[in-house]
Amino acid sequence: MENIMYRVGFPLWKTAARWGVPVLVRVNVHQDKESGTFWADSPDLDGLTVSGSTLDELHKEVTSAADTLLEMAIDGRKAKAQTEIRIRDAALCAA
């Protein structure tokens, strides 16, 4: 059986999250070319804007911020979040 997931921002997403349905949070990753750091925001979850000096650090910050913001959005309950990381700069993908 496939995993059922519901995207943050869709109608009744908070109700689905309260029932324990995992929710998907889209995250866009950007690079500040001057400082060499990365930052991320989310079109789905208001307030999710974080930065990090590496992609690994950024991922940890995204996960932490998403967990906190989701918990606040659904009245202090834990939500099962899955982040969909979107890298907007093709140069970041070339490692």
* 95 falls within a domain: no
* 1 falls within a domain: no
**What is the average pLDDT across 24-36?**
91
Q: With 50 as the cut, is the pLDDT of residue 82 above it? A: yes
Residue 94 vs residue 76, higher pLDDT: 76
How many structural domains does the chain have? 1
Chain-centroid distance, C-alpha 33: 22
The answer to whether the beta carbons of residues 78 and 18 sit under 8 Å apart is no
Q: What is the pLDDT of residue 2?
A: 55
**What is the average pLDDT across 30-55?**
93
CA angle 73, 85, 22 (to 5 degrees): 45
* 52 falls within a domain: yes
Q: What is the pLDDT of residue 83?
A: 79
Domain CATH code at residue 51: 3.30.2390.10
Q: Which domain holds residue 39?
A: 6-90
* 79 falls within a domain: yes
